[in-house]
Amino acid sequence: MDYLPGFLAAYSILLVAVLSPGPAVAMLLGLGLSRGRGTALIASVGIAAGSSTIAVVTLLGMGLVLQQAAWAITLMRMIGAAYLLWLAIGAFRKALNPPEVTPAEMPPLSAPRAFLTGYLLQVTNPKAIVFWIAIGAVGATNGASASVTLLFLLGAFAISLAGHGFYAIALSAAPVRRAYQRARRGVEVTLGMLFTLFAFKLATSRG
């Protein structure tokens, strides 16, 4: 129980971050509408796994290396921006040539591809790396045993999965699908613009 205050502090920060709309939420919206709830849910597992990967690296001390090495942060930022631009291009292409079938009729992505889509988005996001460095500063697992650290990581994974899973379910609901059918060009253009904005912010951010 000595670690409970640190756990609660770290989890509170994580929960706010997960529920704050960002690139992951925009991606889940696109997948949920065009590929279905199952695909979006699998992608949310990938996002949670990506977050856990960053957490493990940070807790092992690599976060400090990335924090001190400006070139490493810059490299991750450029990779993340390129990936977001790739997602933006895909959204714009859908807006220019929308499929004749409804979103519900489109075949879902394979489970590995959906998982990888979410995973890559998260692990190439330098903001997520900086966030986990900040979480490390809370000291939730300082001096903790391997079992306590594992417990913390499992809790963090559960929070990320629950938050992004909620978005995956909500954004793939039938009313949202019907609204998409009426304005799918506008939705795809908006998603493309959001991904482009996120990519620009990543590429030009100094933090």
Tens of pLDDT, residues 168-206: 998 788 787 677 667 778 877 887 888 888 788 778 866
Q: What is the pLDDT of residue 148?
A: 82
Using CA atoms, how far residue 165 sits from 76, 107, 123, in Å, is: 26, 20, 18
Q: What is the pLDDT of residue 90?
A: 83
Question: What's the CA gap between 179 and 30, in Å, rounded?
Answer: 13
Question: What's the CA gap between 67 and 76, in Å, rounded?
Answer: 12
Question: What's the CA gap between 105 and 13, in Å, rounded?
Answer: 38
**Environment class of 66 (CB within 10 Å of its CB; exposed 0-12, middle 13-18, buried 19+):** buried
Q: What is the pLDDT of residue 147?
A: 85
Q: What is the pLDDT of residue 104?
A: 46
Q: What is the pLDDT of residue 203?
A: 80
Q: What is the pLDDT of residue 3?
A: 72
Q: What is the pLDDT of residue 1?
A: 57
> Which one, of 198, 201, 180, 206, lies nearest residue 21 by Cα?
198
> Which one, of 205, 191, 27, 36, lies nearest residue 119 by Cα?
27
Q: What is the pLDDT of residue 46?
A: 96
Kindly give the parts of the chain with pLDDT less than 70. Answer: 1, 20-21, 62-70, 73, 76, 98-108, 134-143, 177, 180-181, 205-207
